[in-house]
């Protein structure tokens, strides 16, 4: 049953919100000890919400767009009365005192928030192994990482523990785990969704977005969370069109799909072969394929990480152990410490011109060149991640960990929308097809996903 069909079934009381919640909770009870997707639950609060929705439906009262759907939230998004730890010992006792804008919008539309999902500490990672709660297991490839940093949110969808989850994406943290776990993940255009209430990793790169098992789940949540927020000055001041309209598409006639040669060149051959099958499917659906070249691909990772280091260092100065939490440098893990140390170093006046300012120049170059590529096509299609996920606990070099992000960071650097959906299996492990489009062309991406899904 598609997510939109479930909402209609709940509104018609073919199934109740309470029944949906209890089914999901039963799955979490059965699987979470092994998967570790959820790190905190509030089933009693969720039950009260579900009972209230059922009561209103029986009384023929109006209910919201998400009526009775079970929602999981990444642990770096403020939800009142939950521990908003960002999976770090720094904030292990920090209870959210307010709701992020996206949370209020979910509650206003009668979503049932069941709990918080696991993640890399402060979203600094690509494997969900750096969490203070321990690693998350990949439901679709047991023993392997689920990707990161939103690994818990992706795993919860892959294990059918809830209907929709939220993650955050700074350099691929929604799309990377969506790829490894074989689910759909969507990073909207920068500014399409409010970041108010998100514990930022790098404020000029972060964006909140949804995970689901089908496009109606993605479209439904985008309808709820997108839109201007006076509390976040980076949000785009206009109301987006209905995303659900994009989920009934079954053709790509008249569409031009770009394929970037360099994206394929740096990807494992087996993954490239699988992605090419998806591109063939797009041709069968009527799309014209256009080969593109992006020679500055090697600029992506260093540009991204230099900006990330400086902005993360700045963001963490509030974790000084005075107002709340503990002093971050005294309790954080190795990757967070590395980013703080490097960020501190290159933020110094004598180095900012040498590193940070050059990264900002490179960002402008990448943005201009990538937008030029997008001028000739509707969507760019290619692999989400260039290699298969490693096994949990396997020692890999820092640069090898960063290399997971080489194909995803470009969308954050440029602020464009991007998604990942399952392309198939390689060695019994899911691999994702990444779709990218011009700023505010989020609808084109969802429509393309829908065409592939409906055929």
Quick one: pLDDT at residue 38?
A: 98
Give the chain's radius of gyration (CA, Å). Answer: 21
Report in angstroms the alpha-carbon separations of 254 from 269, 432, 438: 30, 24, 17
CATH number at residue 294: 3.90.1300.10
Q: pLDDT > 70: what percent of the chain?
A: 100
- Section 395-413 average pLDDT: 95
Q: Distance between CA 43 and CA 347 in Å, rounded?
A: 44
**pLDDT band with cut points at 50, 70 and 90 for residue 448:** very high
Q: Distance between CA 46 and CA 82 in Å, rounded?
A: 13
Report in angstroms the alpha-carbon separations of 64 from 61, 68, 110, 220: 10, 9, 5, 11
Nearest one of 100, 106, 101, 1 to 53, comparing CA atoms: 106
What number of other Cβ atoms are within 10 A of residue 322's Cβ? 8
**pLDDT band with cut points at 50, 70 and 90 for residue 165:** very high
Active site residue 168: no
pLDDT above 80 for 8: yes
Computed over every residue of the chain, the mean pLDDT equals 96
Query: SS3 for 60-86, per residue?
Result: CCCCCCCCCCEEEEECCECCCCCECCC
Quick one: pLDDT at residue 371?
A: 92
Host domain of residue 328: 1-455
Q: Distance between CA 241 and CA 155 in Å, rounded?
A: 29
**pLDDT band with cut points at 50, 70 and 90 for residue 349:** confident
- Section 304-320 average pLDDT: 94
- Looking at per-residue pLDDT, the higher value among 353 and 40 belongs to 40
Is pTM beyond 0.85 here? yes
Q: Distance between CA 117 and CA 108 in Å, rounded?
A: 21
- Element (DSSP H or E) covering residue 414: helix 409-414
Give the SS3 label for residue 115: strand
- Section 37-43 average pLDDT: 98
Active site residue 88: no
**pLDDT band with cut points at 50, 70 and 90 for residue 379:** very high
> Are 85 and 115 within 8 A, CB to CB?
no
Q: Which of 31, 74, 187, 444 is catalytic?
A: 74
Domain count along the chain: 1
Q: Which of 75, 173, 419, 450 is catalytic?
A: 173
Active site residue 290: no
Quick one: pLDDT at residue 355?
A: 84
Q: Which of 88, 131, 149, 447 is catalytic?
A: 149
pLDDT above 90 for 373: yes
Q: Tell me phi and psi for residue 226, to 5 degrees.
A: -75, 150
Cα 267 from chain centroid (whole Å): 21
> Are 307 and 204 within 8 A, CB to CB?
yes
């Amino acid at each position: 049953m598609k997510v939109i069909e479930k909402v209609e079934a709940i509104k018609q009381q073919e199934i109740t919100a309470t029944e949906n919640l209890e089914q999901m909770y039963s799955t979490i009870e059965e699987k979470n000890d092994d998967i570790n997707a959820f790190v905190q639950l509030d089933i009693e609060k969720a039950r009260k919400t579900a009972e209230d929705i059922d009561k209103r439906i029986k009384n023929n009262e109006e209910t919201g767009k998400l009526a009775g759907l079970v929602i999981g939230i990444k642990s770096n998004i403020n939800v009142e009365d939950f521990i908003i730890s960002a999976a770090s010992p720094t904030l292990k006792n920090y209870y959210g005192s307010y709701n992020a804008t996206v949370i209020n919008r979910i509650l206003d539309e009668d979503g049932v928030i069941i709990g918080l999902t696991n993640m890399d500490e402060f979203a600094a990672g690509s494997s969900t192994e750096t969490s203070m709660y321990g690693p998350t297991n990949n439901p679709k490839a047991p023993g392997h990482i689920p990707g990161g940093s939103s690994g818990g949110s992706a795993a919860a969808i892959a294990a059918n523990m809830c209907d929709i989850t939220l993650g955050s994406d700074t350099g691929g943290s929604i799309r990377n785990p969506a790829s490894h776990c074989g689910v759909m993940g969507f990073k909207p255009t920068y500014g399409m969704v409010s970041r108010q209430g998100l514990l930022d990793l790098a404020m000029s790169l972060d964006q909140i977005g949804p995970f689901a098992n089908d496009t109606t789940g993605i479209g439904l949540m985008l309808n709820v969370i997108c839109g201007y927020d006076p509390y976040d000055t980076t949000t785009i001041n206009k109301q987006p069109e209905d995303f659900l309209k994009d989920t009934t598409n079954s053709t790509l006639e008249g569409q031009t799909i770009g394929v970037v040669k360099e994206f394929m060149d740096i990807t494992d051959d087996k993954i490239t072969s699988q992605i090419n099958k998806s591109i063939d499917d797009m041709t069968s659906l009527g799309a014209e394929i256009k080969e593109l070249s992006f020679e500055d691909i090697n600029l992506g990772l260093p540009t991204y990480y230099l900006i990330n280091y400086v902005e993360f260092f700045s963001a963490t100065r509030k974790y000084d152990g005075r107002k709340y939490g503990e002093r971050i440098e005294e309790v954080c893990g190795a990757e967070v410490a590395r980013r703080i140390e490097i960020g501190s170093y290159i933020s110094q006046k004598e180095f900012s011109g040498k590193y940070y300012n050059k990264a900002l120049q490179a960002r402008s170059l990448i943005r201009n060149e990538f937008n030029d590529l997008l001028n000739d096509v509707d969507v760019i299609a290619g692999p989400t991640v260039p290699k298969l996920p490693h096994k949990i606990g396997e020692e890999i070099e820092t640069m090898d960990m960063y290399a997971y992000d080489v194909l995803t960071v470009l969308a954050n650097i440029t602020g464009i929308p991007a998604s990942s959906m399952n392309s198939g299996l390689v060695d019994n492990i899911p691999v994702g097809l990444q779709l990218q489009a011009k700023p505010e062309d989020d609808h084109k991406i969802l429509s393309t996903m829908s065409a592939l899904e409906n055929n």
